[in-house]
Amino acid sequence: MAEGRSGEDIVAEFLRQNPHQAQWVESLRGHCETDKQWSARREFILRNMEVFPTIQPGIPSPSLDRLLALSMAWANHVFLGCRYSQPVMDKIMEMAEGVVVQDAPVFRTRDEIMGKGGETDGSGKKLRPGSSGVRASGRGGTKPGPSPQAPIEHQPFFNRLYKAVAWKLVSAGGFGPNLDHYDILRACVEASKSSLSCVFVPLKDIPDLPASRVQKEGQVCELRCQTVYLGTGYGRSEDTARAMAAKEALKTFQGRKVTVKVCRRKYRGKDVEDLVLQDDQLRNSGIPPALGYPFLPEQQAATL
């Protein structure tokens, strides 16, 4: 994109010169984003399209998933005060160079409010000029987590997605083992104007595997949509693991309704809060450990 002038002017000129991308980029907007939030994130996306040369407008791809995940992480940081691991923070701040957000909210840590320190990120490191601090949580933590209103904000989208999945499964003859579960889930998500994100981790890197487990080769996949956890699957390849994760996710849509809830999950041995899509059925098994820190597929972002 051309540099200079205001970000809105740059984006407007770019879309005038590339009208085929205008409708596609608008389909990436989140249903809960305000005009101000979307304007900033849209500029972030368009400015970084050239960093992902394999992205083709209108065609889903892992590169597009990574770009959208990074754009959401940056928007969450700017507008909600979320903070991620330092490599991810460095990455999104570098990608956001040139994007100017007028009257961006300012977040302060609990220590800053109590007058116990200067501008830090909660771990003693000084914040960069123009960066925001971490939202104080009720437990005094410094890692990002879902806001209390997050489930309510996400629920309308997943109500629509529930209906889209129901109709898709009816047209496919019902839920069964022979379906292309990932293709069905992806098609429904895209029809609802959103996208799926995937995190892959080698099975051998998963801690606390039972010692009796013979099979230690393969991949584990975690699926998310709009930062909400959908399902986890295992397979010998990434494609197989993704298909199994999609199958588990589609099982959630077999109930009478789906609900976005804040749940406790394990991440690297610690309890964290995460947004999880659940059905109305009582399940005996717990939620699998998170493969990436909630709200960002960290493993993907770290490889960019």
Q: The whole model's pTM is what?
A: 0.53
How many domains, in total, are found in the chain?
2
The SS3 of residue 85 is coil
Helix (H) or strand (E) holding 286: none
β-pair partners for 225: 196, 228
Say if residue 297 is in the same domain as residue 160: yes
Same domain, 164 and 262: yes
Q: Are 110 and 89 in contact (CB under 8 A)?
A: no
C-alpha–C-alpha distance, residues 88 and 301, integer Å: 7
Q: Same structural domain for residues 64 and 182?
A: no
CA pair distance 263, 152, nearest whole angstrom: 14
Domain end, chosen from 78, 95, 112, is at 95
Average pLDDT along the chain, 304 residues, taken 10 residues at a time: 52 71 82 84 85 81 87 87 82 85 64 42 37 33 67 90 89 80 92 86 71 66 91 91 93 89 85 88 71 54 35
Strands, sheet with 228-235, edge to edge from the N-terminal-most edge strand: 196-202, 219-225, 228-235, 270-279, 258-267
Domain residues for the domain of 262 are: 150-302
Residues 6+ apart with CB under 8 A from 144: 76, 80, 81, 82, 83, 84, 134, 135, 294, 295
Element housing 150 (H / E): helix 150-171
- Same domain? 158 vs 14: no
Is residue 88 located within the same domain as residue 156? no
Pick from 99, 49, 48: nearest CA to 75: 99
Query: Could you tell me if 60 and 196 lie in one domain?
Result: no
